[in-house]
Structure 1
Amino acid sequence: MAEVTKELGLTRRQINYAINQFNSELITQKIPNIERNHAGDFIVPLEVLQLLSTQRELIEQVTTIPTDEERLALIVMFLITHIEYVSAEHLSEFLDVGKSTVTDDLKKVDPFIQRYYLTFKYDRLQGYQLEGSEHRIMQLLSDLVKRYPIFKRIEVTGKLSPQISKEEVIHLIHNMEQMLHLSYSDESLEYLRTAIPLLLARAVVRTKLGTQDFFEGEVQYTPEHRFLSVLIKETNWEIADSYLDWLTLLFLISNIFEKKTTQEFDSDFRLKELIREMVSNFEHQTFIMIEDRENFERRILNHLRPACFRIKYNLSLGMYSLDSLIQDSNHAILNDLMKELIVPTENWLRRAFPNDELDLLSYYFGFQLSNQPVVKQQKPKAVVVCTNGVMVSKVIRESLEKLFTEIHFLASFSVRDFYQFEVDYDLVFTTIPLETNLPQFIIEPIMTYKEQISLRYRVLNELGINEVDQSVDRLLSIIQKYATVSSSKELKEELQYFLLQEKQDSPLENTKVLPSLTYYLKPNYITIVDQAITWEEAVALACKPLLENQIINQDFLTDCLQQIEQPNYAGYFGEKTCIPHTTIEHGVLREGVSLLISKEKIAFPNREDIQIILPLSFLDLTKHLKAVNQIADLSTNPAFLAELFTKQETTSIYQLIRQFT
């Protein structure tokens, strides 16, 4: 005790109080308490240390901020996707760092872009801008996506390309897969989903302003270009021919997981000849005769074609995953041989194959030669459908992404949007039953830990990618052999939960480490109304503290009012709470929550008895899960609501909320 008081500068009473509070929390989690022995020493159980270690890891995940290099990459990408001059204030707000940090970072931009022969221009009145060859700017954009995983974060691409519908991007990729009769690899799908919105953000604005042709390659003769020309016309994206060519190139360099047709294209005639020559040389040098040679050459074409486009235009998808290939020493032997076999193709391209592409080709060639079945399955593509509005829908998606590392969660939709785009997905997680042929899993917006584990079990079992059942049965038989089991059913359930948790690549969301509702809601953001007002007046009055503190602008209020008027608006919790919220591009400046309490019931377009309005201004949904969960809990807690409506002062309301959260 003496050591702790000295180290922390606290009194014995304060330390005992803190430990009692901590122990009460441990009891609820069924973890052994911190105790003291007869000598007065503190005994901290191993389980507590493990808990603290897990909590620390979660805190690090939540509070992860870009490194210096990542921040520089984000600044350059911001300059690419924003055509007009940008100020240091814009960048400071985008990065959520001080102006002095931005000023220091801006000094590093020029060296960063020098090898692309681009100019970093500064105008004292207007700000900063990138200038130079548009082709090299596109090259820079593609390289940034390749080199920095931070761009794969949905919230990052959302800020950089807010005007581009991510749902339509997924729809475009899916349509290309359908028209070309193939499916892209998981890595390629991730690359396309990230790079296309960033490309379009620049292309759409540049096209409106007028731009010169800048792409000198030959991709117009490919089926990808032909199909894209048709599909782009079905969207609102008007882009110049050179941007369409570059968009085509993104698809051409993407690896194919599976081709579902034997259809061949005239544009591949020369490459097919080279592959035929490569396979003949292989047979002559190794005395290995390849069975079903036609099919073998077709499979090699599926890999070599995108590799050739990557090498010809000096592009890449970044780090490749070889999980789907059988890697052993026999395949490594092919490396030296492949250096000779690839020479005719290199002469045709007038480019040498870099080592990483050659290694991948060697593994792929050997893998196809072994004629072994594909080990790795493609991740299913999932969508989240929620009737509680954009904010809750995205929060659910964040939770599910952590729960299912085996699934690609590509979008979150309203019911109406789902029926428009459902063909793009393999399964759906939804808060209400849907009329669809897709496998659907009905979920609660806010799930307990046990409900999450149960859902995980059902989903993996349904998809056939769950190995837990056999392990559970074997464990159960071993335990029953050496111990008396009072309830086999409950034991089996607990073993399922345990094994599912152990198999996860990332821990389940632990909301205890996230900011509470009162972190965003300040006492002076609360308004009490005791006279009858219209719903429009109520929403405006609720938003007023956020407007006055420059957390939102007028666009936020305008968009929220328009949303609430829609017949399918569902931004409600319980019977009495409305949560007006919108996306970053509609007036969210900073983070904050305000609150209006009405003593009289207010009739909203889709709900009659609203008395609580909580406008939510959030930038990063990852950090806000706990706050949204708490709003949901408070809105459906009769005891809390009954006490809330008795309060007459904002201070007592805030104290009550703090007490309940």
Structure 2
Amino acid sequence: MNERIRNILTILTKRPEIKMAELTAELGLTRRQINYAINQFNSELITQKIPSIERNHAGDFNVPLEVLQMLATQQKQTMIPSDDERAALLSMFLITNIEYVSVDHLSEFLGVGKTTVAEDLKRADQLILKYYLSLKYDRVKGYQIEGSEHKVLQLLADLVKRYPVFKREEMLGQLSIQVSKEEVIHLIHNMEQMLHLSYSDESLEYLKTTLPLLLARGIAESKLGAADFFEGEVRDTPEYRFLNVLIKETEWQLSSSYLEWMTLLFLISNIFEKKTTQEFDSDRRLKELIHEMVTNFEQQTFITIEDRENFERRILNHLRPACFRIKYNLSLGVYSLDSLIQDSNHAILSDLMKELIVPTENWLRRAFPNDELDLLSYYFGFQLSNQHLIKKQKPRAVVVCTNGVMVSKVIRESLEKLFTELQFLSSFSVRDFYQFEVDYDLVFTTIPLETDLPQFIIDPIMTYKEQISLRYRVLNELGINEVDQSVDRLLGIIQKYSDVSSSKELKEELQYFLLQEKQDSPLENTKVLPALTYYLKPNYITVIEEEILWEDAVALACKPLMDNQIITEDFLSDCLQQIRQPNYAGYFGEKTCIPHTTVEHGIQREGISLLISKKPIAFPNRKGIQIIFPLSFLDLTKHLKAINQIADISTNQEFLKELFSKNETKSIYQFIRHFT
């Protein structure tokens, strides 16, 4: 198969609905070149007695199932690990096989020659040396890892974090033959049930990968009577108690130290949702530190946190596992933190977290690494910006296929692209599904199943319209589809102003369009938070020279926002009430006040207005106010860059002097824009 046909097939297998004109434009080839390449490939398929690629009357390409099977097989053969990945795989092979391992075994496992294995062993030796471990060599028996068991398991955890290659099911299967993925997912599900919580998607993936590898070594070592090696403080946790019960129900025999280490893997896992308010005595000090952290956060950001008790409980759910990770020097999976921070508008929180976390660091006697601080700032900001609508956890899906492993993998990959709202945990045979169906929320299957779960019967190969139709049915079934109401409203508008020959077909086309638009909509570019002048308009600025009471000044400052339906009277009333309080903290420097409130108090849209008084105004807690910035925000963290710029303005004496000398709102706006 040459490069041209490979590129064509890559597109056709993902987008069979693509038209020839789009294909030619995307590949930079002529129609004749594409047809020639496909015909040439079809000739090869005929010799192998495989059905050819055809086009239907609508111009869509039909890629037969057998072609996908062949491509999946070839893809598996071409997924050759890099040098560093081979060294990591070799190290993990030695970890999960506690006996001596010969060069022949390593050669067979990695699929390379003995000369390459010799080079990989040198890299692996350098890798494990960083953990104060060594490769022990015996001429007759081969190689074995030697050193502290604690360090061996530390290496295991770090390898999983650093190298995504361990997530490949075929690799994981070879490294943990005694432990099935189905049993591991079942164990995680039972822990969630007993602890009344659910783990985050990332934690679930990490546990799915790490637990089989730990069990592979732990079961083998425990059979030999492994000595205790773990000196942690996890036995008094509910995780340890429940895990101790669940392990006894399996055939896995683990020593107490391996059971404690497994407990630690659950303790460091992030919690998506805790379904009980029960708390533990061991968390009392951490709760106090979180309360102090939230108080400092409110004071420094001028954000009033609603339902603070629940907010602090959610932060505890994140910070507890983070503290265990830091205390025992463990990592959790591979997060794309840059994209998390950018997408969530909380990048600016990172610097603030460095200050807020200091008391917790002093308690732990360990510093928070940057990746944990980034994750905490993301989590902190996410909780704030979603107080009224907390993100739902993804439903957990399974694929059941009777066509074998390769086709099952193709189906699963296709569905993962189609349903970003779902988490696909596994692909099963029918027999395995019936054993573990309780662990899932829905199932995609090639044959009807006897199950109470929502099931969607699919063909291994679907046209574009079939995929969109499936997407509509699934999201509608799960109650996360917002298309129906939009379609009905659009249909009503269209029928009002035009004659529709077929309402059914039009409705179907609108469904397809809206689903496609929703699926493919680009993420908002939130890498840079909006500046002050993004929200402050020239006509939102008021300048006064006469003396005025502070209540009238605040009302006059808010008037442009009211006139533009950004806030209501309720906003003004609540701000006035706040300013009257003795401990009101909505001031910057000596001259600036920033009235602000929460969403339910009259905030309709986002905006900032400005009042500049030539004469100082006496406020209840500050006598010389000359600048009033009312802030109206739906997202409690999106305004942080603008807040920082207001702070800079308020403390820059030269800027203030120049600002007070100006009278026209246009020149004031331009002056502020230039400064920020």
Q: Say yes or no: TM over 0.5.
A: yes
The corresponding residue for 1:229 is: 244
- Please state how far the C-alpha of 1:279 moved relative to its aligned partner: 3.0
Letter in 2 for 1:31: M
Any idea what the Cα deviations from partners look like across 1:223-269, whole Å, max 9, x if unmatched? 11111011111111111111111111111111111111111112212
Distance 1:100 1:401, change over 3 A: farther
1:31-180 correspondence runs (5 A): 31=20, 44-45=30-31, 48=34, 63-180=78-195
Q: Does 1:276 align with 2:285?
A: no
Go from structure 1 to structure 2 and tell me whether the alpha carbon gap of 1:104 and 1:179 turns closer, same or farther (over 3 Å shift): same
Which of 311, 317, 333 is the equivalent residue of 1:296? 311
Structure 2 counterpart of 1:351, one-letter code: R
Contact 1:92 1:98 in 2 (8 A): yes
SS in 1 for 2:130: helix
> What is the Cα deviation at residue 89 of structure 1?
2.1
The corresponding residue for 2:473 is 458
- Aligned residue number for residue 359 of structure 1: 374
Q: 1-side partners of 2:251 and 2:125: how far apart?
A: 35
Question: Matches of 2:460 and 2:122 in 1, distance apart?
Answer: 46
Return closer, same or farther for 1:359/1:45 CA change in 2, 3 Å cut-off: same
Q: 2:335 aligns with which of 290, 296, 320?
A: 320
Question: CA-to-partner distance for each residue in 1:333-358, whole Å, 9 max, x for gaps?
Answer: 54444323322211221100112212
User: 1:91 and 1:407, CA in 2 relative to 1: closer, same or farther beyond 3 A?
Assistant: farther
Task: Tell me by how many angstroms 1:192 deviates.
Answer: 0.5
Structure 1's 248 and 33: CA in aligned 2 closer, same or farther, altered over 3 A?
closer
The answer to whether the Cα contact below 8 Å between 2:344 and 2:382 also exists between their aligned partners in 1 is: no
Deviates more, 1:266-275 or 1:253-262: 266-275
C-alpha deviation, 1:96, in angstroms = 2.0
In the alignment, the residues of structure 1 paired with residue 90 and residue 388 of structure 2 have an alpha-carbon distance, to the nearest angstrom, of 44
CA distance in 2, matches of 1:203, 1:373: 45
**CA displacement, residues 85-144 of structure 1 (integer Å, 9 cap, x when unaligned):** 222222222222233222221121111111100011222222111111110110011001
Distance in 2 separating the partners of 1:258 and 1:47? 54
Q: Considering only CA atoms, is the larger Rg found in Structure 1 or Structure 2? A: 2
CA gap of 1:392–1:355, structure 2 versus 1, over 3 A, is closer
Offset from partner CA, 1:277-306 (integer Å, 9 cap, x none): 333444555666544332222111011101
CA distance in 1, matches of 2:385, 2:487: 34
Cα 1:101/1:480, change in 2 over 3 Å = farther
Aligned in 2, Cα 1:215/1:31: closer, same or farther, shift over 3 Å? same
* Secondary structure of 1:201 counterpart: helix
Query: How far apart are the structure 1 equivalents of 2:322 and 2:128?
Result: 26
Tell me the SS of whatever aligns to 1:434.
Answer: coil
Aligned to 1:604: none
- Does residue 1:311 correspond to 2:297, yes or no? no
What is the number of equivalent residue pairs in this alignment?
471
Return the alpha-carbon distance in structure 2 between the equivalents of residues 170 and 344 of structure 1.
37
Structure 1: runs of 5 or more not aligned: 1-7, 9-26, 36-41, 506-661
Which whole-Å deviations, capped at 9, do the CAs of 1:597-650 have from their partners, x for residues lacking one?
xxxxxxxxxxxxxxxxxxxxxxxxxxxxxxxxxxxxxxxxxxxxxxxxxxxxxx
**1:82 to partner: Cα distance:** 1.1
Which residue type is aligned with residue 163 of structure 1?
Answer: Q
Contact 1:161/1:197 (CA < 8 Å) preserved in 2?
A: yes
Q: Which residue among 432, 437, 442 is the counterpart of 1:422? A: 437
Work out whether residues 85 and 129 of structure 1, in 8 Å CA contact, stay in contact via their aligned partners in 2: yes
Residue 70 to residue 420, structure 1, CA distance change in 2 (3 Å): same
Deviation at 1:325, TM superposition (A): 7.6
The 2-side partners of 1:183 and 1:165 are apart by 21
* Alignment-derived partner of residue 257 in structure 1: 272
**In structure 1, what residue type is equivalent to 2:356?**
L
Contact 1:335–1:358 (CA under 8 A) maintained in structure 2: yes
CA drift of 1:61 comes to 6.0
Distance in 2 between residues matched to 1:122 and 1:480, nearest whole Å: 80
Match for 2:228: what amino acid? D
TM-superposed CA distance for 1:392, in Å, is: 6.2
1:409 partnered with 2:424: yes
d(CA) in 2 for partners of 1:503, 1:151: 33
CA distance in 1, matches of 2:17, 2:309: 65
Please report how far the alpha carbon of residue 410 of structure 1 lies from its aligned counterpart in structure 2 after TM superposition: 1.9
Q: Secondary structure at the match of 2:20?
A: coil
| Cα distance, 1:386 vs structure 2 | 4.3
- Residues of 2 paired with 1:341 and 1:130: CA distance? 42
Rounded to whole Å, the distance in 1 between the matches of 2:342 and 2:29 is: 50
Cα 1:68/1:453, change in 2 over 3 Å:
farther
Looking at structure 1, the residues matched to 313 and 406 of structure 2 have their Cα atoms a distance apart, in angstroms, of: 46
Quote the offset at 1:500 in angstroms: 6.2
Structure 1 position 192 matched with structure 2 position 178 = no
TM-score of the two chains, using structure 1 as the length reference: 0.62
**Matching residue of 1:573:** none
Q: What is the rounded CA distance, in whole Å, between the counterparts of 1:383 and 1:280 in structure 2?
A: 44
> Which amino acid counterpart does residue 192 of structure 2 have in structure 1?
E
Provide the C-alpha distance between the structure 2 equivalents of 1:209 and 1:168, rounded to a whole number of angstroms.
23
How far has the Cα of 1:501 moved from its partner? 7.0
Aligned to 2:456: 441
CA drift of 1:365 comes to 2.6
SS at match of 1:221: coil
Distance in 1 between residues matched to 2:421 and 2:308, nearest whole Å: 34
| Identical positions, percent | 77
Following superposition, the deviation at residue 193 of structure 1 comes to: 0.5
SS in 2 for 1:107: helix
- Give distance in 2, aligned partners of 1:401 and 1:327: 21
Q: How many Å apart are 1:221 and its aligned residue?
A: 0.9
* Post-superposition CA distance 1:160-192 (Å, at most 9, x none): 112102111101111111111111111111101
| Alpha carbons of structure 1 residues 324 and 356: separation in structure 2 relative to 1, 3 Å | closer
* Distance in 1 of aligned mates of 2:291 and 2:495: 61
Q: CA deviation at 1:315?
A: 1.1
Structure 1 31/255 Cα, relative in aligned 2: closer, same or farther at 3 Å?
same
Kept in 1, the 8 Å contact 2:396–2:424? The answer is yes
2:344/2:381 contact within 8 Å kept:
no
Counterparts of 1:412 and 1:202, CA distance in 2: 25
Distance 1:43 1:134, change over 3 A: closer
Q: Which residue of 2 aligns with 1:214?
A: 229
Correspondent of 1:349 among 364, 383, 398? 364
Say if 1:476 and 1:102 are closer, same or farther in 2 by CA, change over 3 A.
farther
Task: Verify the 8 A CA contact 2:340 2:378 in the aligned structure 1.
Answer: no
Distance 2:488 2:117 in 1: 58
SS of residue matched to 1:257: strand
Over the residues paired in the alignment, what is the CA RMSD in angstroms? 4.1
